[in-house]
Structure 1
C-alpha cells in the first residue's frame, strides 16, 4: 500500500508512477501462481472500490523460465490457468529466465518459441528459497514429523552419533492444489477432495472483502 500511495501522488504518464504500479512475480510454481492470482483479486475486488484511478493502472506480471507454469499439473489444468490469467489481465511470460534483480527492474532472458533465439528484457517493478520439494503446506507438514523431540542441547552434543538413528524424511505426494484467482483453482489430486479447504476463505472474502488498512 505504501508503494501504491506513493504512485497515487504522481501525475499520470509519469514513468515513475508506471514503475511503482508494476508488480512482478518470479516463478510459475504453485506459490507464484497463487501470489499473482491473489494480488490481481485484491486489485479487482478491493482496490477498485477504494482507489479506482490507481487500480486500473496496476500491472501484474508472472515470469517463468520454463515453457509452462504449474509443471507438476496436467496439461489441461495448465491451459486452464493460462486462460484465467489472460481473462484477468495477468501478463504471463514463459521461457523467460530471471538474470538480475535490482531495486527498480527485473532483468530476464527471453527464449523465442519460434526459433529458440534469446533476448534480454527489463521489467520495471523478493525472498528466494531453494527446496527439494515444492514449497507447499503438505511438504512442510510432513517434514515436521522427523524432527527430534528430545532435549535440543543434549542432542546437539551427540549429533554425530544420533544422526544415524534419526528417521529420514520420505515425501509422499498427495496431490497438488493451486488458487489461480477470480475464485477459481486447479487441483490434481491423488485421493480425496480438497474443495472445502479454500471454500471458507472464499465465502469470507465474498461477504466482507479484504482488509486494506495498515496497522
Structure 2
C-alpha cells in the first residue's frame, strides 16, 4: 500500500467548494464531504448551527439557548469559515460577493462548486406592522426576544397603577399561525404558565391567556386529521384558545386587527405563518418557482449550471413539492456530499430520493404527536418518543448532554422567571 494515497491532495489540485449557510443542509453536507479531495469554504452570517426543532422550548426556559447551538468551526474544523453574508452570485465568473457581518467589508470568492443552503426567512405576507410590533421565531435572537417580552408583560401587568383592561391586554399572548412551530410555542407557554408562573405570579395567572390565530380551517394541517383533532381538544382543556379562519390584516402595538375588523388586544404577538425566500434567493439569477424557491433537477443542480447546487428550504426539485423540513434538508446535504465524493472517484451518481420518516409535535402537559408512516401516535409515550428522537438528532455529544441536563433541571427546579 502506498502511504501517500491517504494524504490530502495539494490545495491547487482540490476543487474549491463554497457552502452558503450553516443550517441543517449545510451541516449535513460538511460532516460528510471528503476534505481530502475538496477545499471547502463556508460563508454564513451565523457562525453556529442552530437546532431549530427545539427553539420553542428556549422561549420559556425549558431548554437554555446555548444547549441547542454548536459552532461551525467545531462541527467541521477542516473547512474554512467566513463570518459574512453572501450578497450576490455571478455564475458566469463563478464568484460570490460577500459582506462581513462585523465590519461590512466586501470581498469576492471564487468557486468550482457552489452549494446554496441559506434556508428561508419568515413570511410576513406584507402584513403591515409585523416587523415593527410582532416577534418572529426563526433564530436564537427571536427566541430570546420572546422570552424577554413574556417577562416584561408580566412585570408591566403587575404594576399597581395598571387598569384591569390594560392588565388583560398585557397578559394576552397571541400566536399567529397554527403550524407545528406555533403549536409547540403555545404548548411551551402553557407549561410555563401552569408549572412556574402560577407560583411566581399568583395574582396574574387568572388573567393570562394564550391564543392561536390560524387563517385556514384547522391547525396542524400537514398532520393526520385525527392527531390534529386531538391537539385541538387538548388545547381547549388547557385553556389555549384556537381561532381558525382568522386572517390578520394588521399588527399594532396593542394587538392585531383581523380581516373582519375585529381588534384582538395583546401584549405579545408572535408571527409564525410559514416561510419565504431570503433577499439573496430573490435576487439570484437562477430559475425559481411561484414561491420564490430555486428550481433544481433530481441531482439538486440548478437548471442553468452543472456546478451550482441548491439545498433545503431555499430550493425545490422540479416536478416535486417536497416539504420545507429539517428532515429533507439533512437528507439533501447527506446526499450531495456523497454524490460529490462518488463523482470525484469516477463512480456513477444516483438521483436524490426523499424518504419521509414522519412528523413530530409537542402539544403540552407532557404529550406529543407522532405522525409516522406506519403509526399515528399521541400522548405521553409519543412525548417520550419525541424527546428521544430529538436527542439523537442533536449534532454533538455536548448538545445532547446539555439538553438532557436542562430537561432534568426544569423538571426538578422549574423554569427561571428572571428578566436579564
| TM-score range relative to shorter protein | 0.7 to 0.9
Shift of 1:76: 1.1
Contact map agreement 2:177 2:271 (CA 8 A) in 1: no
For structure 2, list consecutive stretches of 5 or more residues without a partner in the other structure.
Answer: 1-150, 277-312, 314-321, 338-350, 389-403
Q: Which moved more, 1:8-17 or 1:47-56?
A: 8-17
- State the distance in 1 between where 2:160 and 2:223 align: 42
Displacement of 1:145: 4.5
Task: Find 1:205's aligned residue among 387, 393, 410.
Answer: 410
Q: CA deviation at 1:140?
A: 4.9
Asked if structure 2 preserves the Cα contact closer than 8 Å seen for 1:61 and 1:91, the reply is yes
Distance in 2 separating the partners of 1:213 and 1:140: 36
What is the deviation of 1:207?
A: 2.5
1:71 equivalent to 2:221? Answer: yes
The answer on 1:87 being equivalent to 2:237 is yes
**Structure 1 105/214 Cα, relative in aligned 2: closer, same or farther at 3 Å?**
closer
The Cα of 1:86 is off from its aligned counterpart by 0.5
Q: CA deviation at 1:172?
A: 4.0
1:183 alignment partner in structure 2: 366
- How far off is 1:147 after superposition? 8.0
Deviates more, 1:171-180 or 1:70-79: 171-180
Q: TM-score, normalised by structure 2?
A: 0.40
Q: Which moved more, 1:54-63 or 1:138-147?
A: 138-147
CA gap 1:185/1:52 in 2 versus in 1, 3 angstroms: same
Deviation at 1:202, TM superposition (A): 5.8
- 1:130 aligned partner: 275
**Structure 2 vs 1, CA of residues 127 and 90 (structure 1 numbering), >3 Å: closer, same or farther?**
closer
TM-score (normalizing by structure 1)? 0.74
RMSD: 3.0
Structure 2 CA distance for aligned equivalents of residues 183 and 202 of structure 1: 12
Q: In structure 1, the residue corresponding to 2:230 is in which secondary structure?
A: helix
Q: 1:147 to 1:48 in 2, by over 3 A?
A: farther
C-alpha displacement at 1:99, in angstroms? Answer: 1.0
Partner of 2:330: 141
Q: CA deviation at 1:4?
A: 0.8
Q: 2:262 aligns with which of 121, 124, 130?
A: 121
Give secondary structure in 1 for the equivalent of 2:261. strand
1:37-76 equivalences under 5 Å are 37-76=187-226
Give 1:73 deviation, angstroms.
1.1
Deviation at 1:35, TM superposition (A): 0.4
The answer on 1:214 being equivalent to 2:397 is no
Number of residue pairs the alignment of both structures matches: 188
8 Å CA contact 2:361–2:386 kept in 1: the answer is no
Gaps of 5+ in 1: 110-118, 149-167
Distance of aligned partners of 1:65 and 1:4 in 2 relative to their CA distance in 1, 3 Å threshold? same
User: Does the 8 A contact of 2:358 with 2:370 survive in 1?
Assistant: yes
- The alpha-carbon deviation at position 138 of structure 1 amounts to 2.7
Contact between 1:174 and 1:191, CA under 8 Å: does it hold in 2?
A: no
Q: Judge conservation of contact 1:63–1:94 (CA < 8 Å) in 2.
A: yes
